[in-house]
A and B are shown apart, each in its own frame.
Chain A
């Protein structure tokens, strides 16, 4: 074979097109960069500002009008209590709803489809509307008052749709062949669910619950309306007045004294630390225990 006589022109390309392609790619990378750079700047700024005030005083003292001795102890404790209550409320109700929708509900019935649609809508309702709900029913309606329990209940309702959706996915991921095998051995529906489906879905449910919890603990607006009061100098109790960490941050940020803004930054570090730990736990659980079907 002699060397090809035809100039294939494969070595060159239209230069204008190539530059355009590069420019486009650059713009796309820029889009990503905007988010990442902002995130990085935010974190660096907050840590830089607040690090000096991140000390035992912050963690163990109650707030005060004197920024030198002010701390966020009641707020931190309240956030922890809220977290515990949230898990106790949301997981049973959320997983229970998910089991009902996935294993028991006949999907052709209109009320079950309406139920699904309802949950999807609730997941997108602004969080402050949940605050209004709490204000109307719990604080004033039921006369519960501006207490920690009311905050926990409202955050539960806020976060429930997200947990339901995550639990449903985890349950749906369990292959049907497992259920068939268990039924064929004579297990009842609840035995199949409790002994085969749920154990297999636990990693997904746990991950989803922790991520939802993390989101709830960062919420401020509903708690404001529930009455997470401005100035709490004592440790919170479930049926007592309370202030949570995000609310404390909000309060300090709004104060004119700049030192309080620095305190706010320190408190933000604490809050982000808590959330980061939760998220890391969730990811660890997912990677370690997630079954590959």
Chain B
């Protein structure tokens, strides 16, 4: 195990996050007793066909936290995050076992409507996917299909403001969304999610297709958005996790005898702990760059 003073220097080296910023962030988080659970996951296993892509995951996602899932490729992080808004339903061969509770209610209950789920839990994808429509129509699409058509203009403006995109596009809302740059398109996709006033924002590697400046803007956005929303992000970039996340979950791959790979949750704790004093050797190996 790494001791604390050395750990802090190590942490700065790995993540570029200064100790005082880190301490500040840690201080602002509510203590464990006061944390509200948004998602309670227990015994979650996801199979495609008969092979489990992800097995036996237990963790809680807290309200107004940014939670990051990190780990090497193929460890099931994307599969996992898609369980939270039932996007795995769209894959015919996917089977979800175990339980995911959302504010105490079973997300996969027999009477639960996936459409209602996705109204409250939004998702941003790795590659920005604006609709081939105008900027305005992109943001307005969600409210329109969900019947939230009162004061549509205000909703659109508010969402674009929250996504820090309004100033750049306010004069050209009728132009095609495809004319925006990559970073702008991703912020548009975020605005699109925010327009339906969700509870949770899921982000699957939101900045991996973007240049460094756009990435920084998205990360700043996450800091602001977590005041109002609960954010879960998947990232293959450890430094990013260290910069934005309050809690970090590290996943790894377990290889069975016949060579099949299954993702497992190795460790889940506050970000500083994961990076400076990880409890599991696999975590330590990953964050110090010995593998992955």
Contacts and interface: CB of A to CB of B under 8 A. Distances in A.
- Do A and B come into direct contact in the complex, CB within 8 Å? yes
B129 A188 contact: no
Contacts of A291: 132
Interface stretch (A114-122, A132-140, A174-182, A227-235): A174-182
B286 interface: no
A180 B192 contact: no
Interface in A177-192: 177-178, 180-188, 191
A195 interface: yes
Interface string A91-109: 0000000000000001010
Interface string B178-199: 0000000000010011001000
A100 to B, nearest CB: 16
B262 interface: no
A112 interface: no
Contact of A181 (B116, B119, B129): B129
A177 B118 contact: no
A172 to B, nearest CB: 16
A191 B118 CA distance: 14
B223 to A, nearest CB: 23
B102 interface: no
Interface in B132-173: 132, 141-142, 144-146
A204 to B, nearest CB: 13
Dominant SS among interface residues on chain A? helix
Contacts of A108: 92
B145 A184 contact: no
Given A185-B142, A186-B146, A195-B141, A177 B129 contact: yes
A177 B192 contact: no
Given A185-B145, A185-B192, A180 B92 contact: no
Interface stretch (B13-21, B120-128, B229-237, B239-247): B120-128
B179 to A, nearest CB: 14
A186 B125 contact: no
A64 interface: no
B189 A186 contact: no
B90 A180 contact: yes
Interface string A141-173: 000000000000000000000000000000000
Nearest to A106: B92
B111 to A, nearest CB: 17
B288 to A, nearest CB: 35
Interface residues of B, number: 25
A196 B132 CA distance: 8
A200 interface: yes
Contact of B141 (A177, A182, A188): A182
A178 B131 contact: yes
A196 B146 contact: no
A290 to B, nearest CB: 12
B29 interface: no
Contacts of B116: 186
A235 to B, nearest CB: 45
Contact of B115 (A175, A187, A195, A196): A187
Contacts of A184: 85, 87, 118, 122-123, 125, 193
A185 B87 CA distance: 11
B131 A182 contact: yes
6 contacts: A180-B87, A180-B129, A185-B193, A186-B119, A191-B145, A291-B132
Given A178-B131, A180-B125, A181-B125, 8 more contacts: A181-B192, A182-B131, A182-B145, A184-B85, A185-B196, A195-B141, A195-B145, A200-B132
Interface of B: 85, 87, 90, 92, 115-116, 118-119, 122-123, 125, 127, 129-132, 141-142, 144-146, 189, 192-193, 196
Q: Which 10 A-B pairs have the closest CB atoms?
A: A177-B129, A186-B119, A184-B123, A185-B142, A186-B118, A181-B129, A187-B145, A191-B145, A186-B115, A188-B115
